[in-house]
């Protein structure tokens, strides 16, 4: 390695923290864009595309091993146009080349993603993930791979046009699973998916499958939704709730949850939920937070509500910018070592705690025997409060107070350590998910601070990321850029609609309608009727993907269908329902093959077949809000209630017909689909008319 001062490459001008991490590599990195693409075409060089993100542990490893090595960098610079991409900023590129990895290798990819692309059409010649500096783990040395790819390209340049055509055809065939797109939607798939999840469920530790174990949030949501649909075969209802509660309990009591600071890590490296991969992602927590609220209410679990509250407080404290938007991730590493911010030696604990506090922590978190993470302890609950009192020889009434006091002390002590890096990109899509989560939790467990947090995030996006009637996907330091994707529009629209349940704002409802109109005008695939991931005026890529199944985030098409169904019934806009029907018919053939991977779409199908109840309350602001809050306390979690004050101004479609005749009165309209009951004039009548929340008996 050279001892000379490193020179910045072109990434120094980017805003992405991930790209800036690579700005002083000796690799002549380019960001994805016209300059790199033109150079590749002019010099007839392959593009070496490297995709990662700032909190990715193996991305950091490959950087240190290869991208900081001048010998490796020289091979890269001499043979390729090297392009570095932040997958969180450019999910359009990541989706395409992760799909290529699956196609080439018959298994899922990951990060860092390493792809070699043809200079003109950008079709992949070879796709892999992490490669070591020397041959091991059955993988070639990265430098050897580079030389081999460069040599093969020189030998086969004359076949590139044929390869480009072949790959373009392959991507076209992968856009949607073949099937009959004219079949009506079939809500029996929901029960099929539930049975599928029953077979995947780990009855010992909770969750689905073996290590590494991910939260699978959309599948838990599917089970909870199924439990709410009381018309189903009751033999399976309790099992659906039991599996959800067991899985959520295991995650919250295990090491996936941060017992000091709140919030969840990315996934567990073991089947027991004991040791996580320590990065914290905004979207994981946005998807988990409402599950703990919903399951906590259904199963009457106060500990779930507390987990939700602590997660929301973590979001406000550590993930919300002073301007309102939510940051993206906290890194897993501190000074190149994973998890070091979070783990403890026993002596460190004893230095902070009193003798009784340590005894309580010692037993509660099972700090006996060999430490569970690289010679240190990562906290996870090992014993109940009752067993903690018994085994520590402490009065049962004192244990909760001792633990509370100890955890507060440890949290303060941990805060004095070097913190993990934080990726301060503000992504519209992930913000939309968190806006929904904070609004939902704020309304159902009465946390006005959560609702205010969501409102601030919406205001930031409207003020800084909504330009000339279109969204920009990412912002850093209030500088927004990049054409937004399907996820951005859909997740944000759903998040704002959820916020409107907690606090009506007519301008924000109009904003939701504007977002939907952009989708209908710029994202619809004319062949299938579903939405493409990119807009029709996005930069040309090798394919326009149509997202169908749930991944680490819900399927944007599934969420869009669910959202359009709700808005269609609220406003009477038949176009919304027609588009939702087309989306679900396009997705359904793929869902037939693996229904449990299409959870949000199956929930949308259920909503299409059996529209849920929604309520519009009109009246003075305080009184209409009081009625809505009473509905939230007694009605099902998924009940849609909007308290629209009498001075809300002009409303669209059917909402305009839901008026008050006397400004001194309050009136409620209870509707299912397009059918409404006669207007109700008292809160008692309203509470009698709505479905009641089900509880675990």
For range 69-82, the mean pLDDT: 98
- Both 410 and 554 in one domain: the answer is no
In this prediction, residue 1 carries a pLDDT of: 44
CA distance 260 to 471: 37
Q: Which helix (H) or strand (E) holds 427?
A: strand 426-427
| 351-389: pLDDT as tens digits | 999 999 999 999 999 999 999 999 999 999 999 999 999
DSSP per residue over 481-536, as a string? EEE--HHHHHHHHHHHHHHHHHS--HHHHHHHHHHHHHHHHHTB-TTTSSB-SS-T
Given the DSSP bridges, would you call strands 333-334 and 337-338 parallel, antiparallel or unpaired?
antiparallel
**Is the domain of 577 the same as that of 628?**
no
CA distance 37 to 425: 25
Of 291, 315, 278, 259, which Cα lies nearest the Cα of 434? Answer: 315
Residue 24 to residue 21: CA distance in whole angstroms: 8
CATH code: domain of residue 350: 1.10.10
Asked whether residue 103 falls in the same domain as residue 164, the answer is yes
**Residue 582 belongs to what domain range?**
189-334+423-609
Residue 183 lies in a domain: no
Cβ within 8 Å of residue 661, ≥6 positions away: 667
Residues 73 and 93 grouped into a single domain: yes
Is residue 424 within 8 Å of 328, Cβ to Cβ?
yes
Q: What angle do CA 251, 255, 257 make, to 5 degrees?
A: 60
- Are the C-beta atoms of 54 and 18 separated by less than 8 Å? yes
Q: Are residues 66 and 155 in the same domain?
A: yes
- Which pLDDT score, from 0 to 100, does residue 137 have? 84
Distance CA 132, CA 135 (A): 7
Whether 214 shows a pLDDT value over 70: the answer reads: yes
Residue 338's beta-bridge partner residues?
Answer: 333
Query: Do 81 and 151 belong to one domain?
Result: yes
The whole-number pLDDT of residue 660 equals 84
CATH number where 134 lies:
3.40.30.10
Does position 341 have pLDDT exceeding 70, yes or no?
yes
Please say if the pLDDT value at position 234 is more than 80: no
What pLDDT shows up at residue 401?
97
Distance CA 192, CA 683 (A): 39
Number of domains in the chain: 4
Confidence band of 2 (pLDDT split at 50, 70, 90):
very low
Same-domain status, 43 and 135: yes
Same domain, 628 and 559: no
Beta strands in 62-164 (DSSP E): 80-86, 113-117, 124-128
Q: What is the pLDDT of residue 44?
A: 96
For the chain, the distance separating the N- and C-terminal CA atoms, rounded to the nearest angstrom, is 66
Q: Please report the pLDDT score of residue 697 as a whole number.
A: 55
In a domain, 497, yes or no: yes
Confidence of residue 691 (pLDDT cuts 50, 70, 90): confident
Q: Are residues 284 and 365 in the same domain?
A: no
Each residue's pLDDT tens digit, 181-192: 888 999 899 999
> Has residue 3 got a pLDDT over 60?
no
- Is there a single domain that holds both residue 163 and residue 27? yes
In a domain, 695, yes or no: no
pLDDT above 50: residue 171:
yes
Residues 639 and 573 in one domain: no
Provide the CA 435 distance to its chain's centre, in angstroms. 12
CB 288 within 8 A of CB 307: no
Instruction: Share the mean pLDDT of the chain.
Output: 94
pLDDT of 274 over the 60 cut: yes
pLDDT at 177: 83
Q: What is the DSSP letter of 159?
A: G
CATH number for the domain spanning 437: value is 1.50.10.10
Nearest residue to 92 via CA among 529, 472, 538: 538
Q: Which of 134, 150, 174 is the last residue of a domain?
A: 174
Whether 179 is covered by a domain: the verdict is no
Tokens for 293? Answer: 């609220």
Taking only the tens place, the pLDDT of each residue in 492-515 is: 999 999 999 999 999 999 999 999
Q: Is 7 left (phi over 0), alpha (psi -120 to 50) or beta?
A: beta
Query: Which residue is associated with the tokens 């290869």?
Result: 66
Query: Which residues fall within 8 angstroms of residue 471, CB to CB, at 6 or more apart?
Result: 428, 461, 465, 484, 488, 489, 492, 515, 518
pLDDT of residue 126: 96
pLDDT tens-digit map of 402-453:
999 999 999 999 999 999 999 999 999 999 999 999 999 999 999 999 999 9
CB–CB of 269/332 below 8 Å?
no
Collect all residues with Cβ–Cβ distance below 8 Å to 343 and sequence separation of at least 6: 373, 374, 376, 377, 378
Residue 2 covered by a domain: no
Q: State the pLDDT at residue 232.
A: 57
CB 17 within 8 A of CB 87: no
User: Which of 115-119, 286-290, 663-667 comes out lowest in average pLDDT?
Assistant: 663-667
Mean pLDDT to the nearest integer, 472-493: 96
Could you tell me if 20 and 165 lie in one domain?
yes
C-alpha to C-alpha distance for 63 and 534, rounded to whole angstroms: 30
Which of residues 116, 142, 174 is at a domain's end?
174
pLDDT in tens, 535-584: 999 999 999 999 999 999 999 999 999 999 999 999 999 999 999 999 99
Q: How far apart are CA 44 and CA 156, in angstroms?
A: 12
CA–CA separation, 95 vs 534, rounded Å? 11
Q: Please say which residue of 609, 644, 679 terminates a domain.
A: 609
| pLDDT, position 441 | 97
Percent of the chain with pLDDT over 90: 88
Over the stretch 578-633, which tens digit does the pLDDT of each residue have? 999 999 999 999 999 999 999 999 999 999 999 989 999 999 989 999 999 999 88
Least confident range of 53-62, 350-359, 662-671: 662-671
Residue 3 lies in a domain: no
- The answer to whether residue 184 is domain-embedded is no
Residue 142 has phi, psi (to 5 degrees) of -60, -40
């Amino acid at each position: 390695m050279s001892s000379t001062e490193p020179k910045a490459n072109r990434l120094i001008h980017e805003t992405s923290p991930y790209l800036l991490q690579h700005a002083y590599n000796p690799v002549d990195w380019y960001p994805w864009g016209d300059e790199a693409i033109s150079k590749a075409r002019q010099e007839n060089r392959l593009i070496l595309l490297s995709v990662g993100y700032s909190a990715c542990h193996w991305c950091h490893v490959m950087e240190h091993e290869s991208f900081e090595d001048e010998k490796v960098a020289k091979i890269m610079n001499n043979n390729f146009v090297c392009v570095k991409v932040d997958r969180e900023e450019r999910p359009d590129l990541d989706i395409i080349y992760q799909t290529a990895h699956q196609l080439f290798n018959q298994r899922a990819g990951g990060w860092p993603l390493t792809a070699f692309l043809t200079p003109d059409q950008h079709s992949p010649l070879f796709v892999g993930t992490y490669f070591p500096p020397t041959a091991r783990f059955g993988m070639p040395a990265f430098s050897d791979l580079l030389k081999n790819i460069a040599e093969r390209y020189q030998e086969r340049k004359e076949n590139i046009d044929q390869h480009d055509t072949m790959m373009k055809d392959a991507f076209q065939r992968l856009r949607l699973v073949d099937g009959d797109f004219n079949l009506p939607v079939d809500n029996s798939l929901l029960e099929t998916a539930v049975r599928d999840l029953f077979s995947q469920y780990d009855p010992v530790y909770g969750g689905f499958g073996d290590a590494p174990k991910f939260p699978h949030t959309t599948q838990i949501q599917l089970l909870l939704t199924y439990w709410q649909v009381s018309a189903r075969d009751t033999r399976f209802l309790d099992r659906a709730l039991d599996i959800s509660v067991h899985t959520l309990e295991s995650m919250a009591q295990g090491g996936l949850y941060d017992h000091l600071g709140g919030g969840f890590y990315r996934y567990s490296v073991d089947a027991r939920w004991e040791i996580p991969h320590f990065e914290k992602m905004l979207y994981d927590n946005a998807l988990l937070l409402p599950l703990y609220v919903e399951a906590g209410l259904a199963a009457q679990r106060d500990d779930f509500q507390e987990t939700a509250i602590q997660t929301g407080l973590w979001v406000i404290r550590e993930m919300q910018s002073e301007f309102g938007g939510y940051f993206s991730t906290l890194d897993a590493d501190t000074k190149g070592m994973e998890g070091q911010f979070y783990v403890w030696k026993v002596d460190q604990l004893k230095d902070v705690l009193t003798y009784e506090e340590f005894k309580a922590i010692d037993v509660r978190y099972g700090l006996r025997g060999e430490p569970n993470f690289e010679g240190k302890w990562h906290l996870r609950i090992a014993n109940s409060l009752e067993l903690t009192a018994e085994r520590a020889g402490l009065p049962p009434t004192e244990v909760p107070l001792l633990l509370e006091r100890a955890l507060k002390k440890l949290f303060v002590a941990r805060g004095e350590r070097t913190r993990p890096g934080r990726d301060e990109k503000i992504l519209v899509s992930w913000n939309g998910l968190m806006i929904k989560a904070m609004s939902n939790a704020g309304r159902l467990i009465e946390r006005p601070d959560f609702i205010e947090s969501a409102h601030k995030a919406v205001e930031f996006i409207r003020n800084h990321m909504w330009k000339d009637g279109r969204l920009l996907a990412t912002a850093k330091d209030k500088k927004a850029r990049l054409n937004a994707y399907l996820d951005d529009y859909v997740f944000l629209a759903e998040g704002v609609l959820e916020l409107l349940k907690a606090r009506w704002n007519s301008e924000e409802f109009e904003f939701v309608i504007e977002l939907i109109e952009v989708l209908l005008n710029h994202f619809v695939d004319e062949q299938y009727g579903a939405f493409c991931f990119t807009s029709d005026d996005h930069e040309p890529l090798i394919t326009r993907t149509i997202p169908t199944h749930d991944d680490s985030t819900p399927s944007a098409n599934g969420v869009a269908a669910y959202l359009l169904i709700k808005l269609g019934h609220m406003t009477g806009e038949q176009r919304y329902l027609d588009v939702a029907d087309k989306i679900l018919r396009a997705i359904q053939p793929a869902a037939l093959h693996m229904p449990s991977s299409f959870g949000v779409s199956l929930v949308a199908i259920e909503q299409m077949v059996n529209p849920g109840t929604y309520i519009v309350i009109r009246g003075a602001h305080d009184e209409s809000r009081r009625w809505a809050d009473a509905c939230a306390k007694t009605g099902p979690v998924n009940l849609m209630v909007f308290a629209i004050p009498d001075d809300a101004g002009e409303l669209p479609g059917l909402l305009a017909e839901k008026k008050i005749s006397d400004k001194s009165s309050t009136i409620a309209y209870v509707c299912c689909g397009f059918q409404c009951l006669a207007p109700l004039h008292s809160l008692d009548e309203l509470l009698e008319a709505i479905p009641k929340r089900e509880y675990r008996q």
